[in-house]
Structure 1
Amino acid sequence: MRKKRLVWNTTTSLVYQLVTIICGLILPRLILNGFGSEVNGLVNSIKQFLTVISFLELGVGAVVQSALYKPLSENDTVKLSQIVTSANIFFRKIAFILAVYIVGLLVFYPKIVNAKFGYVYTDILIIAISIGSLVQYYFGIVDMLFLNAAQRGYVQYIPQSISIILNTLISYIMIRYGASIQAIKFVSSLIYLVRPIVLRIYIRKHYSLNYHEKYSAEPISQKWNGVAQHIAAIVLDSTDVIVLSTFSTLANVSIYSVYYLVVSGVKQLFMSLTNGFQSLIGELWARREIDELNRIFGWFEWLIHTGTVFFFGCTGILMLPFVQVYTKGITDANYIQPFFAALITIANAGHCLRLPYNIMILSGGHYKQTQSNYIIAAVVNIIISVIAVNTWGLVGVAIGTLIAMFYQTVWMAIYDSKNLIKWPLRNFIKQCFVDFLTVVIASLITSQLKLTSIEYISWLILAIKTAVVWIIVIWLINLVFYNDKIRHIMSKIGISVVKER
């Protein structure tokens, strides 16, 4: 059953991320063509300011999911109902605060952003974009956390994928027929209201949860101990756009959003392959199946590092050519930023490299013990980004993210080694050396490949050549340093081929 759910979660999550990436590339391009770089920058800036509201979640979401692992493994319906009830009460308070925050944005945001748009234009856009956030925090987020903890994340990925496709089609039609950006975003918010309704129907049908279960003692014992982790996550994801919105221009926000669209898409696509692992590792930790946990963690670390090197190695080579093709014909801003492209790619690769160590900390419930790491990373990112943005602009905010990510990844690996599964630090050091060696060799080879024309077909041919080279280099180097894992994979492939015949 574990394996079946892992496959379902991984597959549907992968499909969802592919849909997100494809539609996420189509829609901004339509907005750029239809409304220009400043409107695109305004939309992305507002989205980022609304993302910051999840700051108020204070990490409770991660703690709720961790708290659910044990009662789920024991099939303790009463305890599950108490946790869900407590979480719902908390998030309804967040929904109220979100409404107040949105009112504040309506008053102050037009003053903060240096743009030509008036109050009415900007405020209507804020309202249109914020509707979906309100509904999610009112009754959608707890159901999502419950399904993730129950290893049934696939239930939410399917309606999410359908919603994204539908939103892209309707937005395309509306843009083509001259609808305003406010009307387009308002319709988008209405489409996304469907997902939380579907999740609630599914849970009521398959689980006997009481959303109004009474309790005397707080069922989420570490409710406030995930604060630092959550703050760091929000800061690392949101600081760059907020700093650019405040201290730079909306044109720079638009440039940043195009590059971030690519690296974020790659990051989310890659992370979708790991979505089933957190609940699996959480269950193994709750049951104290340490030997099996160590075996799975060993594979998990290797797969994450190897996958990150491949995905982001190819991204680093293909990013600039893709942006050249994607922004062809857009002349109101300079989208060709090679140094920024390299830094933002490395920074987001660091986010993925830390996944196995971060997931182990979350699964182990070590929130309070690891707060200092998250706080320091958040502060470092903010300080460096604010100082550097005036001198180096886009590059400055990327440097802040990169340094914070590097610090956090190393710290987490050391912490896990000493305090959780006692994973030897030499394994981490060896893995990082292999990563570095692979990146250097593959980059030297693929940097010689060039885009022959500014067309998608030319970029696709370049992407295929690049991917083939990176796969060969990764395979050969890992055959030397991780011979056992490569041979195991080859044997599995061999077995599959034999069965098919």
Structure 2
Amino acid sequence: MRTKHSLNNIFIGIISQLVIVILGFISRKIFLDSLGIDYLGINGLLTNVLSMLALVEGGIGLSIVYNLYKPLAEKDQKKVIALVQLYKKVYGYLAVIILIISICLYPFLGGLIKDDSSISNLTMIYFLFIAKNLLSYLNAHKWSLIYADQRGYVLDRMNLLFQVITTIAKIIILIVTKDFILYLIIEFLLYGVQVIVNGKIVDRRYPYIRTKVKYSLDEETKTNIKTNVKALFLHNIGGFLVFGTDNLLISSFIGLATVGIYSNYTMIITQLNAFVKPILGGVGASIGNLIATEGSEKNYFIFQITYLVNFWIYSTCVIFLFNLLDPFISWWFGSEYVFTDLILVFILINFYLTGMRTSIATFKNKAGLFKQDKYAPLIEGGINLISSLILVKYYGLVGIFIGTTLSTLLTVFWTQPIIVYKHVFKKSFVFYYQKYFLYLLIGGVAFTITTAACQAIVFEQELLTLVVKGIISLLIPAIIYGVVFFKTEELKYMIQFLKRQPFFSKVVLVLKKSNLKVEKS
């Protein structure tokens, strides 16, 4: 059952993201042509402001979700209800607090923009962003319940439908009116409908949570939540200082237009990341269930598989992006929106370092190991902010990204594996780094060969060049990794796992029928 839910999560996630990626590229092009680069910049800047406001949440949701895994697995409805009721109550208070903080922050918004931009109605834009953010707090307790129960794919289907409708509606608004305020209003209204519909879906699946009877939690669970929230609050601050300050620094020291250019890169990387992340993220809830019900050896075996998949996915993504990102942006948006090669290199280094943490971070979070390294993200964030502030003065934009690289390598790159290997797998963390650097070496070989092949590809039509380079960037790493890992237990397990799936059997059957028809003809 755990495998079935994981596959559903993965399949729906990939299909959803494929549709969203296509619409996202079209929408971004129309947005840029209709409103200009400054509006892309303000969009990225306010997104970072919202991530700063999210610090107020302090990891409460993640801590409660962690505590939901066991009672859901044991069908302990009373405890599930108690946790959901707590979640709803806390998030109601948080919505009010965030609104108050948002109002207090508004006077300082202008100080985050270095240059004189052509943005009008900044006040209305800001509060429309805030209003949409607050909507997400209304049903957060219900969403967390269904995702913890490994049924997230049910909401993902509806989210896909709403994202398609919303994106198409926004495209029409941009083409017809070129009005950013109306664009945001339509987005806000449709998101409000989405929140209500998703809430009703969860109510139908878990009718018992609608009870008016109040349930209380045992003291052990309350203590666990409080301990984890304190640790996660520090994690969130550190996470914001690492991942949420780039646009703020770029806007303050370089300019809003550069934030807009950078947002093209982050949009493409984020879309690609979101497209492949369901493969690992789809098993996230299952890992929570696995840790709650299985021993360390089984956990370690599953981790080894996810670790290989993690490397395969993110190393291929880096190779793909290095060879296609700049040419694609130049072809789709224009050559004036392309950064230098050095900037691209550090953007991709940070993407790889963060991506390669996915499997180990998933096991850490699902095991509820928050307090063991509660200060590490804070130190990481401090290093990132201080080094970025210093380096941006000497090296400009690339200095900000170098700061992020340094902060990661000096902190969480080491702390997360040490904690998980000690508390979950009961093994030496040395094994983690042995494979990490082995994977890095193999990935470096694949990168070198693929890049050399791509550089030899030049056609008169840019689109044809992009397509061929894209195929090469996916095919060569797959061949190299297939040859290198063919005899490993991890790849053998994945192949056998795929063979057992109905979808794979149907594909094989179709191929066999096709071959028979060819032979008869």
TM-score (norm 2): 0.89
Equivalences for 1:275-424 in 2 at 5 Å? 275-328=281-334, 331=336, 334-406=337-409, 407-424=411-428
Matching residue of 2:195? 196
**Alpha carbons of structure 1 residues 275 and 216: separation in structure 2 relative to 1, 3 Å:** closer
**Alpha carbons of structure 1 residues 490 and 72: separation in structure 2 relative to 1, 3 Å:** closer
- 1:12 partner letter: I
| Cα offset, 1:211, TM superposition | 6.5
Deviations 1:111-162, CA, capped at 9 Å, x for gaps: 431343578611111122222111102x122222111110011122112211
Deviations 1:76-99, CA, capped at 9 Å, x for gaps: 111111111111111111111221
Deviations 1:279-305, CA, capped at 9 Å, x for gaps: 112112222443432221221122112
Deviations 1:330-379, CA, capped at 9 Å, x for gaps: 64xx5232111111112111112111211122111121112122222221
- 2:57 partner letter: E
8 Å Cα contact 1:267-1:348 kept in structure 2? no
Distance 2:499 2:420 in 1: 35
Matching residue of 1:32? 32
Higher mean Cα deviation, 219-228 or 336-345? 219-228
Distance 1:286 1:58 in 2: 24
Matching residue of 1:259? 265
Higher mean Cα deviation, 114-123 or 344-353? 114-123
Query: Is the partner of 2:375 in helix, strand or coil?
Result: helix
Higher mean Cα deviation, 1-10 or 95-104? 95-104
Matching residue of 2:482? 475
Query: Is the partner of 1:151 in helix, strand or coil?
Result: coil
- 1:420 partner letter: V
**Alpha carbons of structure 1 residues 31 and 454: separation in structure 2 relative to 1, 3 Å:** farther
| Cα offset, 1:454, TM superposition | 6.9
Distance 1:384 1:160 in 2: 39
Match of 1:439 among 429, 438, 443: 443
Deviations 1:415-456, CA, capped at 9 Å, x for gaps: 212222124434322322332222322222222323535733
Distance 2:105 2:46 in 1: 9
Higher mean Cα deviation, 44-53 or 212-221? 212-221
Provide the aligned C-alpha RMSD in A: 2.3
Distance 2:302 2:102 in 1: 44
Distance 1:310 1:423 in 2: 29
Count of equivalent residues: 495
Matching residue of 2:148? 149
Query: Is the partner of 1:256 in helix, strand or coil?
Result: helix
1:121 pairs with 2:127:
no
**Alpha carbons of structure 1 residues 498 and 136: separation in structure 2 relative to 1, 3 Å:** closer
1:164 pairs with 2:163:
yes
Equivalences for 1:450-489 in 2 at 5 Å? 450=455, 451-453=458-460, 455-479=462-486, 483-489=488-494
8 Å Cα contact 1:52-1:234 kept in structure 2? yes
Query: Is the partner of 1:336 in helix, strand or coil?
Result: coil
Distance 1:457 1:53 in 2: 44
Distance 1:498 1:39 in 2: 49
| Cα offset, 1:474, TM superposition | 1.9
Deviations 1:192-213, CA, capped at 9 Å, x for gaps: 2233212221221121114652
Point out 4+ residue stretches in structure 1 off by more than 6 angstroms. none
**Alpha carbons of structure 1 residues 176 and 151: separation in structure 2 relative to 1, 3 Å:** same
Matching residue of 1:97? 97
Query: Is the partner of 1:75 in helix, strand or coil?
Result: coil
**Alpha carbons of structure 1 residues 402 and 17: separation in structure 2 relative to 1, 3 Å:** farther
- 2:21 partner letter: I
**Alpha carbons of structure 1 residues 387 and 432: separation in structure 2 relative to 1, 3 Å:** same
| Cα offset, 1:324, TM superposition | 1.6
| Cα offset, 1:17, TM superposition | 2.5
Deviations 1:291-327, CA, capped at 9 Å, x for gaps: 4322212211221122221222222222222222122
| Cα offset, 1:10, TM superposition | 0.9
Matching residue of 2:431? 427
Distance 1:119 1:323 in 2: 24
Query: Is the partner of 1:222 in helix, strand or coil?
Result: helix
Query: Is the partner of 2:426 in helix, strand or coil?
Result: coil
8 Å Cα contact 1:302-1:431 kept in structure 2? no
- 1:41 partner letter: G
TM-score (norm 1): 0.92
Distance 1:81 1:494 in 2: 39
Distance 1:270 1:423 in 2: 29
**Alpha carbons of structure 1 residues 17 and 404: separation in structure 2 relative to 1, 3 Å:** farther
Matching residue of 2:515? none
**Alpha carbons of structure 1 residues 81 and 314: separation in structure 2 relative to 1, 3 Å:** same
Deviations 1:242-270, CA, capped at 9 Å, x for gaps: 11122220011112111111222222222
Q: In structure 1, list runs of 5 or more residues that go unmatched.
A: none
Distance 1:118 1:337 in 2: 26
8 Å Cα contact 1:414-1:425 kept in structure 2? yes
